[in-house]
Structure 1
Amino acid sequence: MLLVCPATALSEAPSRPQPPTLESCQERFAAWPDDRDAAMCFYQCAQEASAREAVTRALTALEARHPDQGWLPLVLGHVRMLSSHKAAEAPYRRAAETFHRLQQAEGEVLAAINLRAILLAQGRAEEARQWTRRVVEVASTSGRPDLRARALMVEASHLYEVELDLGRAFRVLKRAEPLVFPEGTEGMKKQYLSVMGTVSERLGRLDEASDINARLVELTRSTGDLFLEAHGRFTLANLALRRLEREHVLSDRGRALALARQALAAAERTGNTTLVARAARLTADLLGDSPEEHREADVLLARCLALPETPESQELRLSCLWTRAERRAGVDPAGAIQDSEASLRLASERNDPLYLALALRGRGTVAYRTQPLPEALAHAERAVDALEALRQTQSDASSQAELFATWARDYHRLAGWTLEAGGATGRAHTLSPRAALSRTFAVSERLRARTLLDALVASRALVDAEDTPERRAQRSEVQSRLVAVQRRLLDPLLTGAGRDAALKELQELERRERDLRPVPRQGALEFASLDAVEQGLEEDEALLVFLVGDDVDLTGTSAGGAWVLVVTRAGTRVHRIPERTRLAAAATLFSGLVERRDGSELGAAVALHAQLLGPALAGLPATVRRLLLVPDGPLHDLPFAALREHREGAPLVARYELGVVPSASLWRHWRGDAPPTLGGEALVLADPEWVLGHGESRSAAASRSGIFEEAALLGALPEARREGFGVEEALRDAHMAPRLWVGPEASERALKDADLSRVRVLHMAAHAVVDAEAPERSALVLTPGTEEEDGILQPREISRLRLNGALVVLSACSSASGAVLPGEGVLSLSRAFFEAGARAVVASLWPLRDAEAADLMERFYRHLATGMSVSAALRAAQLEASDAGLPPAAWAGLVVLGDAGLVATAPREEAAPLCGLDPALLMAAALVVLLALGFIARGRWRGGRAPAATRGAAARRR
């Protein structure tokens, strides 16, 4: 909730300043009765709970004598807020009307902001919305940047509190940030940090939220603001709990409990019963199971539940009830059920999907521990339904993905419980094994790659009505400005100050571009069922669906565990695998050993094969030769091709073709399309000529520039140029019509202008730069082509290319890697090509060496050109590389994403038998051929490889 409690100009020392006395404030006001700070002195005095009653009487008397002094009722509202929201409403309303009558914009804005918060806390959303509009109107009319910043913060608060749109709230706050820091008042800074900390936490940006709240605590300590200090400390402790739940490092529990106790002590200093109750509940949530801790938790939760039952306290009461229910489950089952049912009733009355999901999560935990498993399943399924409703409140795909990622463990829990109900853990089953598998598969599909699926389904529909020509023109204008700013950032001569300014401008433009995107369409999705997937698989295919959760949660309740579902045309089986934390450590170790290129990864390869694949592969039908992998969590970056059953044995890719799909629903989406026409056009871009850099050293920037510093210093790729010619030759031999663009011709402008609808293969041998912190800045680096382009082809631009079921091959570093969001998957460059319409993408999990990449691609295309599927061609190329003695680092990182069974070229026809011809004629023809070959061989020997001539001929064909 957004509150504005301005501070006086007090000491900036790190220790908390002592509040002024009531007598000193009265003397100060008598000397300067029109001064704002003289009135604010009373608020500082009221920080001591024992002084509040006297301060309230003094302010009431002064307000009666000074009816045109709007700061007096405003400060009275602040003082009453320290004890009761309801009591603060009337003075805030009087202050707003007084300032409005006197045309004092600043006071009116501050009073309206606080009044709006009071109304919202009481559930009076429509009245709060009216005061939000008033704040924005007054601030805009005033023309003051500081009031504009406050209006933006109120707008952001409305977005996340009322509309639950966290993504837009975050971007609105970012627009306010340069208006607040560094020149804003202490009060504005505290207001900004308070709201931004809450929004960041709810989006799952836990590190960012922790930094913000640490700054808030330090600022409030220096200004003596006990209320906001307690709020900041509570949020820090809550973030520590969130991180504990996410990372499952149980040793961090003690630190989180210590932070909760600090938050409770800070709340008690304020005397505010609501703050005390919140901190008490959090502390109880983190206490252990010893008798002493149980007694302490009971006392704390009793304090929490002692609050009067008002709309204002409903949110806190329901969370106290579900916390007490979870703690009582092991000792008082009936009481636990009663508490959790009461919490659920309160959440249902709020009609808020967030709190409904939280209450249902708690109700499910209690049911799992106290009631038959079907009861727990019912509540867990309802929790997932609430999460779907929460997802739909977000107005852009990125925010949907971020928010959804924070709830992935609820899907893992429901999936594991469902398998348990089907007897997978040995517990007496309450579902048939087949029903449990089908329902688990459905839960898995609801979790995975949802925004990508939304985008692909929407691309088949008519243009969104909200995406008007005006909005498209605005997006185009913003895109042009983005290019101009990025061209500046790519200049190695840009100074540190200029670079910082350009980065700030870029961030603002990126936020505007995202706000102008069409709202994601939802509700028309049909997830793939297990029956449909089984029927859609070929006899030689198996789909391996991984669900990688934790074994238990912080209460000791089953968190679902980790599983692999093995789906074939003949049926589906399920096997238990190690939980997430164990797999994350093992996968990281394996990838690190692969990078060493010394064979030290063999032991880890065998261990992971046994843990992930051993039982799954042992039961596969003998006909299976292609594995379609649906990874989860730490498995997204795992090079499955290099796993092996024995140290001396062959790698997995020797036995199976491999393909990676984000979800079974997306796999069916691609498979459901009509098979592409074989042959046709191909487009090959190789070794783009980077021309923006000046080739000079650059000064160090004051802030991180990410991909721009890296891109500006990239060199040529001579082996990529050789690769391009080899790809062109292989595709021409496969009766395709390839176009080869190398050097300056391999430009961003040319690619965007090209008609790609008939292109069946798009090959790009170029540099890639990946920014895991800002995935939308990742890029393939091309020649710009015009002054209107910057040469860095980013996801927002890639997704607007119009591919029609093409195979895209990204011979570029880390083009299949990037930030991993739980559930959503990898935010990679490859993903953007799927949004553009690609049917399959071949890309790399890690950096590629130039010569090794060129050789591997030569092998791949040699097999692809014979009519092999993409996965078969890649398997053959990887086996050749392995047989040639190359380490897994040289070949195992290349993966097929999407439709691994795609065939891009027509099979080569065998020569017809020469039946009935005269043997003498055959011998004569053979002699002519041999003589011709001799002349050709002599010509090649004399001229060597003649790279310039060969490539010149290719250039003329372009």
Structure 2
Amino acid sequence: MIERALAAGAYSLTVTEDLLDVETSLTVGDQTTTVHDPIERHGKQIVYLNLPAPATIRLEVSSTDHRSKVGVAQIEFARWSRTADAAQSQSEQGDSRYSAALVAQSQEHDALSSAAALALHEAADHYRRAGDRHAERLVNYIRGRYAYLVSSDWQAAEKFARAAKDLANQSNDAVAAARADVLTASARIERANELAGPDVKAERAKLLDSSNSLLVASTKIFADARLPIDQVAALTFQGVGQWAAQNADEARATFVAAVAIARASNDAFSEARALGNLAWLDYERADIRSAADEYSRLLDLIEKERQPDLYASTLGNYANCLTMLGDFDRPLQLHTEALRLFVSRGDDALRAKALLSIGDLLLRMGSTRRALETLETSLPILRVLKDQTGIDSALASAGRAAGALGDHERALSFHQELLDRNRGPRMNALARVLMAGDLRELKKYGRAASELKLALAGATELTRANALVESGKLGLARRELRAAADDLLAADRLYADLGLDFPRIAANTALARVRLTAGDRNETLAAADKAIELIRLVRMQSASAELRANFIADQYAPYEIKIQAQLSESTAVGSWNALLTAESVRARLLKEWTTRPVAAQQAEYSETERLLDQLSAQQVRLESQLQTVRATDSQSLRLRRDIVETRARFDALSQRPDDSAKLLAGGVEPKFSLADIQAQLDARAAILYFFVGEESSIAWRITAHDLRQFKLPGRAVLAAATEHLADSLERPSAAAGQKKSFGADNAAIRQLGLLAEDLEPGRLFVFPDGPLNSLPFVALSTKPSSRDTALWLDRFTVSYAPSLALAMQSRRSTKATTHQLVAVVADPIYAADDSRLATSLANNASSGASLRGSTAERFVRLPYSAIEAAAVASAFQSSQVISLTGFDADVARVSRLPFDQLAVLHVATHAIARPDSPGLSALYLSKYLPDGSGTPKNSISSDEIVRMGMRGDLVVLSACSTGDGSKLSGEGVLGLTHSLLSNGSGEVVASLWPVQDSLTAQLMSQFYQSFGESNDAAAALQNAQRQVRDSIGLSSAPVWASFIVRANRLK
């Protein structure tokens, strides 16, 4: 900063740039004037000052260039020598108007200030009258720059550039003339890009040819003058023009040359501009790997605090490239980093773009509902901001998400709007391909074919490949199988040529389905195996467990097709191979976690925990808020947006610190034989193993002597049947009580019950899939019409298991445990009016009809859980029992339990299962301390269970819906039970739905009495369920049928 005392008079304070962009601020008294100019690194800034009296001025010149750039700014103080009443000279008037223009435009950001335009016109006239060609040229050049950069008035930019060139030629200033030519050429390129259609083809070519000639000549002048900054700028525009003229190879070579010159000159700003264009070119040419590498280098050059818009767009482009190449971990981290930056800056525009990118990424990862929620959160902001590109992207992705969720009419509306908004060939073709898919799903095949025909006419290579995949699917729907196969093979070749593995999964999956429909078993297997091979290449190591499991479930289709092809062999070998294929995608996330070192499981991530707490609080607030206001209320929308952002930040942090635990998306071939399985089964034991497909499902039944398979309905039918059985148990009819059967009016329930019809009473190990994870198999009946008991409860000891491979592994590695400690967590303090609080005025404890689950803000005391805790403790020696009840049942004490020494961990509290966000499913503990103050936190989520290593040989979750969660194909149920099994718990007893406090306490008392005698959780639960049913009657069905045993072993 320069501080100087000036006498009264008129001054021109001039700052001339040399290889550096700067901004000038002048302060006189309490008034500060700030100016900058539109010329990169060789501009001139003038602040005209007329002091009526002596004053002290402060002049500050600061760099607005890249922080690594070094240059010079020459400062000149010039006092106009004249008497106070004398007229201003033309030159002084020129400086005055030039200064006024810079001041006016510096206060205007989005348009050309009319005051600035007028002042520049007047300045040019004054300089002309003064005969100052240099100053007149500079003003005309600036007028052209403003017309180009701010007004997008290409013809005006070219007019002022020509005027500046004429003046430069009169002064024999070749460099200034070349700079004017660069401006002229850039304006002509923009004019050419606005011309479309055959009628203007010649005019467009003429504009591009002339601009290229100007830029070639200018580049040589700059090179001869050793001006690399100008040389890089000219080359960059030359590359843009060559690409516009469809000379892709020439354009790429030009951009590469520009990057090299900028790097050799240590000019990060110029390198970033040239590299950004090179990356854009490679992306448009579908050279995605090169584009990803270039965007990665570009991110290192951009100063995100100074260039947030450029940083956001570059980051989004880079992440999109990585995603197309099948890498999801880095994009998630990048988008989340950007979101945090934009939120801290209060930048809604870039915040919306970051949300849009995260939504698109979630969609690719298979987390479809979350993707649609995130995209719908960003879309209203984008509309308000009139971000046309962002709106287009959000519409395309939201339509894909809606279609994936089965709402094809809604998807079509998104994509129709996308088409209506765009006339450009690239986006137009994309919209038509998307619409064709929607129309196919709606069985409007003729319209779909028409849209595809129009799309292919103007598609890029990548969009053409996408169109061919859709054409193949349409051919399958129309049973035009040969044409469908040809289209899909062509699409796969095109993707392979482009170096894109991820979209090849869909192409080969669709091809496998075509081959299966055609009855070609070998070709079906070949195509399905290719899709599976590609899935296995996809890296999914950094996203949260929930996102990884969603991605795996989303790639289930090729395995389903392969299973159908293997079963078509109609032999025992084919049936067993099909089961092995099903097992290869079974519980992959659980297998990953159970093989991790305990130290890694127990690693603490304070930021992750903080985000979890924040997210839980936001979820509870939203749940409470929606009780009284609509989901579209502004406060609700804001809270939903906050939840989306917090979840995105949590996902990016939920990564494991070691590379040894990388999860490949594809399954691992099981290493055991049918004989190995059968050797573990006695004569009265059997396995029921399920694979739930979209159109049909399969059940395998394994006994010690045989293997049988049964065909079942598809996912939707089985999901409806599961809900129907749960409803019939909650509201059992008198007829059901007489027949001692439930849900028998549902064909799928009857079909499932008959799977065990000819089995002798004994033990059943059930390996459910998808919606069957929520089916209470003990409530099935083998003979629905018989008056004799036919319930599985009375015939079989039933336990659930996620994976045969895990069960076999546990069987081989199981050792006799010496754990003897029993921990009981029960009856926490939830309410301020709890009688146990010292500040309580009255005992307002709830009645025995309370459920062990509600909303977190409405939890009431569970009085019977205290009785239950006493019954549990009485079943064991007192020296072995650690009892945490009342105030002691808090997060701090529970987290300090010796989990690695526990034979039994019993938890009787409230719980909330969140199928939409299973990582936030939680056990709720004491909310208050003895002095009436609140505990720091009162919940332990399923993700926190994993990190703290919570486990036991037997874990009993005596709370509502603790066995519920997100039911994913192959993986099982993500939630509390999954986390406990992941930590190595032997068995987990949990409930499938909300349960009544008093009846649950009775069931648990019976359970522990039996468990103490048998040390067999499944048998003890069966005995307790029978006793409660027989003693209470029909009304007890919702409780006894709700509890199940899940285990990682055959026991």
Band of TM-score, shorter chain = 0.7 to 0.9
In the other structure, the counterpart of 1:118 is 281
Between the aligned partners of 2:617 and 2:705, the Cα distance in structure 1 is 58
| Aligned match for 2:561, one of 413, 430, 434 | 413
Between the aligned partners of 1:333 and 1:77, the Cα distance in structure 2 is 45
Alignment pair present for 1:714 and 2:859: yes
Percent of aligned positions that are identical: 23
SS in 1 for 2:679: helix
In the other structure, the counterpart of 1:680 is 820
Following superposition of structure 1 onto structure 2, how do residues 369-448 of structure 1 map, counting pairs within 5 Å? 369-370=517-518, 372-390=520-538, 397-422=545-570, 433-448=571-586
Following superposition of structure 1 onto structure 2, how do residues 10-89 of structure 1 map, counting pairs within 5 Å? 23=155, 46=193, 49=196, 53=204, 86=248, 89=252
Sort the Cα spacing of 1:719 and 1:218 in 2 relative to 1 into closer, same or farther, 3 A: closer
Shift of 1:220: 7.5
Amino acid of the structure 1 residue aligned with 2:862: L
| Aligned match for 1:746, one of 878, 885, 889 | 889
- Matched residue count: 829
Sort the Cα spacing of 1:577 and 1:680 in 2 relative to 1 into closer, same or farther, 3 A: same
Shift of 1:727: 0.4
The 10-residue stretch of structure 1 (335-344 or 498-507) with the greater mean CA deviation from structure 2: 498-507
Q: Which protein shows a greater Rg?
A: 2
| Aligned match for 1:867, one of 996, 999, 1014 | 1014
| Aligned match for 1:153, one of 282, 305, 316 | 316
Between the aligned partners of 1:279 and 1:594, the Cα distance in structure 2 is 48
Sort the Cα spacing of 1:235 and 1:503 in 2 relative to 1 into closer, same or farther, 3 A: closer
SS in 2 for 1:768: strand
What RMSD, in angstroms, separates the aligned Cα atoms of the two structures? 5.0
Q: Give TM-score scaled by structure 1 length.
A: 0.73
Shift of 1:723: 0.8
Amino acid of the structure 2 residue aligned with 1:119: D
Sort the Cα spacing of 1:588 and 1:105 in 2 relative to 1 into closer, same or farther, 3 A: farther
Amino acid of the structure 2 residue aligned with 1:345: R
Shift of 1:29: 8.8
SS in 2 for 1:515: coil
Sort the Cα spacing of 1:537 and 1:404 in 2 relative to 1 into closer, same or farther, 3 A: same
Amino acid of the structure 2 residue aligned with 1:199: L
Q: Tell whether the 8 Å contact from 1:814 to 1:847 is kept in structure 2 after alignment.
A: yes
Between the aligned partners of 2:972 and 2:863, the Cα distance in structure 1 is 33
Between the aligned partners of 1:709 and 1:765, the Cα distance in structure 2 is 14
Sort the Cα spacing of 1:207 and 1:156 in 2 relative to 1 into closer, same or farther, 3 A: same
Between the aligned partners of 1:149 and 1:709, the Cα distance in structure 2 is 41
Shift of 1:660: 1.2
Sort the Cα spacing of 1:654 and 1:549 in 2 relative to 1 into closer, same or farther, 3 A: same
Shift of 1:483: 8.0
| Aligned match for 1:616, one of 747, 755, 758 | 755
Sort the Cα spacing of 1:258 and 1:132 in 2 relative to 1 into closer, same or farther, 3 A: closer
The 10-residue stretch of structure 1 (678-687 or 122-131) with the greater mean CA deviation from structure 2: 122-131
Alignment pair present for 1:172 and 2:307: no
Q: Deviations over 1:345-395 (max 9, x none)?
A: 344445544233222213213322345323212322332232222256766
Sort the Cα spacing of 1:129 and 1:374 in 2 relative to 1 into closer, same or farther, 3 A: closer
In the other structure, the counterpart of 1:895 is 1044
Following superposition of structure 1 onto structure 2, how do residues 263-662 of structure 1 map, counting pairs within 5 Å? 263-264=418-419, 266-267=421-422, 269-270=423-424, 272=425, 274-285=426-437, 293=445, 301=452, 313=461, 315-328=462-475, 334-350=482-498, 352-370=500-518, 372-390=520-538, 397-422=545-570, 433-459=571-597, 475-478=604-607, 481=610, 507=647, 510-511=650-651, 513-519=653-659, 520-521=661-662, 526-551=670-695, 561-596=696-731, 604-605=743-744, 607=746, 610-620=749-759, 622=760, 624-644=761-781, 645-646=783-784, 650=789, 651-662=791-802
Amino acid of the structure 1 residue aligned with 2:768: P
Which structure shows the higher strand fraction?
2
Between the aligned partners of 1:275 and 1:490, the Cα distance in structure 2 is 37
Shift of 1:592: 3.5
Q: Tell whether the 8 Å contact from 2:430 to 2:463 is kept in structure 1 after alignment.
A: yes
| Aligned match for 1:808, one of 955, 960, 971 | 955
In the other structure, the counterpart of 1:853 is 1000
Q: Tell whether the 8 Å contact from 1:391 to 1:403 is kept in structure 2 after alignment.
A: no
Q: Deviations over 1:861-911 (max 9, x none)?
A: 111111152111111111111112133112211110015865xxxxxxxxx
Q: Tell whether the 8 Å contact from 2:799 to 2:1018 is kept in structure 1 after alignment.
A: yes
Sort the Cα spacing of 1:652 and 1:391 in 2 relative to 1 into closer, same or farther, 3 A: farther
In the other structure, the counterpart of 1:757 is 900
SS in 1 for 2:558: helix
Sort the Cα spacing of 1:657 and 1:78 in 2 relative to 1 into closer, same or farther, 3 A: farther
Between the aligned partners of 1:490 and 1:234, the Cα distance in structure 2 is 28
SS in 1 for 2:967: strand
Between the aligned partners of 1:193 and 1:28, the Cα distance in structure 2 is 42
Sort the Cα spacing of 1:719 and 1:30 in 2 relative to 1 into closer, same or farther, 3 A: farther
Between the aligned partners of 1:108 and 1:127, the Cα distance in structure 2 is 16
In the other structure, the counterpart of 2:56 is none
Q: Tell whether the 8 Å contact from 1:821 to 1:827 is kept in structure 2 after alignment.
A: yes
Amino acid of the structure 1 residue aligned with 2:773: H
Between the aligned partners of 2:962 and 2:928, the Cα distance in structure 1 is 22
In the other structure, the counterpart of 1:950 is none
Gaps (5+ residues) in structure 1? Answer: 1-7, 12-18, 245-251, 423-432, 552-560, 697-706, 903-958
Following superposition of structure 1 onto structure 2, how do residues 827-846 of structure 1 map, counting pairs within 5 Å? 827-846=974-993
SS in 2 for 1:742: strand
Q: Deviations over 1:791-832 (max 9, x none)?
A: 322223322455776011111111111122222221111111
SS in 2 for 1:764: strand
Q: Tell whether the 8 Å contact from 2:946 to 2:980 is kept in structure 1 after alignment.
A: yes
Amino acid of the structure 2 residue aligned with 1:574: Q
Between the aligned partners of 1:233 and 1:445, the Cα distance in structure 2 is 38
Sort the Cα spacing of 1:505 and 1:122 in 2 relative to 1 into closer, same or farther, 3 A: closer
Sort the Cα spacing of 1:543 and 1:593 in 2 relative to 1 into closer, same or farther, 3 A: same
Shift of 1:225: 7.4
Q: Deviations over 1:648-672 (max 9, x none)?
A: 6643312211111112222223333
Between the aligned partners of 1:286 and 1:505, the Cα distance in structure 2 is 29
Amino acid of the structure 1 residue aligned with 2:796: Y
Amino acid of the structure 2 residue aligned with 1:357: I
Between the aligned partners of 1:832 and 1:22, the Cα distance in structure 2 is 62
Amino acid of the structure 1 residue aligned with 2:920: R
Between the aligned partners of 1:521 and 1:831, the Cα distance in structure 2 is 19
Between the aligned partners of 2:876 and 2:262, the Cα distance in structure 1 is 76
Between the aligned partners of 2:479 and 2:596, the Cα distance in structure 1 is 51
Alignment pair present for 1:205 and 2:334: no
Q: Tell whether the 8 Å contact from 2:475 to 2:483 is kept in structure 1 after alignment.
A: yes
Sort the Cα spacing of 1:721 and 1:401 in 2 relative to 1 into closer, same or farther, 3 A: same
Query: Which structure is higher in RCO with an 8 Å CA cutoff and minimum separation 6?
Result: 1
Sort the Cα spacing of 1:231 and 1:515 in 2 relative to 1 into closer, same or farther, 3 A: same
Amino acid of the structure 1 residue aligned with 2:689: V
Q: Deviations over 1:284-330 (max 9, x none)?
A: 55555999955x6666556655679xxx72x4444444444455566
